[in-house]
Structure 1
Amino acid sequence: MSPRPKNPGRTDATRARLLDAAVTTFAERGFHGSTIRDIAGGAGLSTAALYVHYRTKEEVLYQISRDGHEETLALVRAAIASGGTPGERLERLFRDFTRYHAQAHTTARVINYELAGLEASHRAQVHAIRRRIEAEVQDLVRQGVATGEFDVTEPALTTTALLSLGIDIARWYREGGNWTPDELAERYAKLALRLVGASG
C-alpha cells in the first residue's frame, strides 16, 4: 500500500497542473510529438516532479482520456435521466453534449483524437466507456422509434452519426469564431432532432 501524501490538497493541485499542461501539449504537438520534458515545463515543474505522479507519458494520456470519457458518460446519463419524452431528452442531451465539446474543445480533441497513443489495455478500457456512451444514446433513439416520435430505420448508424456530429466540434472549434458554445448547443440540439426525424 502506498503511503498517504503528506499534503493531499497540494498533491491534487500539482496533478491538475500536470494534466492541464499535458492537454495543451498533446493538442499542440500530438501525443507522439510531445515529451515528458514538454509537459513538466508547461506545468512549471521538473521532470522528476512529474514522475512522482505518473510513470510514463502514456499514463498521463490515459488519465486524461479516462476522466474525459467518464465525464461525458455522466453527462449523457444525466440528460437521459432528466425526464420527458425521448425527443425532449435527446434535445437536452445534445445541447449539453455540444456545449461540453465546444467549451472543453482542447481536452475533447485530445481524448478523441489521440487514442492511438494508449497502450492496448488502457485503450480497451477507454473504448469500453465509449461503447457505454453509444449504448445509452442508441437506447434513447430506440425508445423514440418505439413511441413513434422518431423516424429511424437504423438506430445504430443514426447514433454513430449523432455522436460524430458533436465530437467533431472539438476538431474545429476555436474561441472567437462565428458561434459561442451556447449558440452551437441550441443549433446542434435541433440538428439532432432532425437526424432522428422527430415528429412535431
Structure 2
Amino acid sequence: MTTITARERLINAAIEAFAEKGFAGTTTRDIASRAGMSPAAVYVHHDSKESLLFTVSIEGHRSALDVITRAAASSTDPIERLRSMVYDFSLWHADNSRVGRIVQYEYHALSDEHRAEVATYRRSIEKTMQDALADGVDQGVLDVDDVPGTAFSLLSLGVDLVRWFEPGGSRSADQLASLHADLAVRMARRT
C-alpha cells in the first residue's frame, strides 16, 4: 500500500478544486478542506495558491513532454513515429483531461516568471513534433510545407481533448487517440 504524502494530498485537492471552480473561484481554505488539512497547512508546502497552480502546471507539462519524447524515440520510421507521437499525446490528454484543462485554461493566472518557465516546456513539446516532421520531410516520407504550423495543429488535436473529453462518453480515449493518429498520418504522408 502506497502512502500519500501531505504534499500529494494538497496537489490532488488543488486539481479537484481548480477543475471544479477554476483558479479564481478556489480558495486555499477550499483546497485545505479537500485535503483534510487546516488552511495553515497549505502554506507549509506552498507559499500561495498560485504556487499550487504552478506545481500542477509544471508537473503536467513535464509529464506531457516525457510522453511525446518517449514516443518520438519509439521508432526511426517517420510514419510510425508520427503515429505514436500523436496517439500517445492525445491519449495522455484524454487520460489527464482534468489536469490538462487546468494547465490550458488557467495559464493566464500564473505569475510572469512561472508562465515563462511553463512556456519552455511548451516550446520543447512543439520542437519535438517539429523535429519529427522535419525528419520525415528530409527522408521524403512526409509532405509538410509548414512544419511549425503543422506541428502546432497536430498537437492541438490532443490538447483540445481537455476541453470536452469525459470518460464513459461515446468514444473511448483509445478510440480518439487512434483517430487522431490516423488523421495525422493521412495529413502528413507524402502521396
AA at the equivalent of 2:33: G
> 1:23 corresponds to which letter in structure 2?
I
Distance 1:42 1:93 in 2: 35
1:199 CA drift (Å): 3.8
Which consecutive residues of structure 1, in runs of 5 or more, have no partner in the other structure? 1-8
Asked if structure 2 preserves the Cα contact closer than 8 Å seen for 1:23 and 1:107, the reply is yes
Residue identity (%): 42
Whether 1:27 and 2:19 are equivalent positions in the alignment is yes
1:183 equivalent in alignment to 2:175? yes
Q: Which 4+ runs in 1 deviate beyond 6 A?
A: none
Q: Does 1:129 align with 2:129?
A: no
**1:194 shift after superposition:** 2.1
Structure 1 equivalent of residue 83 of structure 2: 91
Map of 2:140 onto structure 1: 148
For residue 128 of structure 1, report the CA deviation from its aligned partner.
0.8
**Under a length normalisation based on structure 1, what TM-score does the superposition of the two structures give?**
0.91
Give 3-state SS (helix, strand or coil) of 2:116's partner.
Answer: helix
Q: TM-score, normalised by structure 2?
A: 0.95
Size of the aligned set, in residue pairs, is 190
Q: How does 1:1-200 map to 2 (within 5 A)?
A: 13-196=5-188, 198-199=189-190
SS in 2 for 1:153: coil
- Post-superposition Cα deviations, 1:109-143, rounded to whole Å, max 9, x if no partner, equal 11122111100001000001110110111011111
Cα RMSD between the aligned structures?
1.4
Alpha-carbon separation, structure 2, partners of 1:93 and 1:165: 12
Are 1:158 and 1:195, in contact at CA under 8 Å, matched by a contact in 2?
no
- The secondary structure found in structure 1 opposite 2:171 is coil
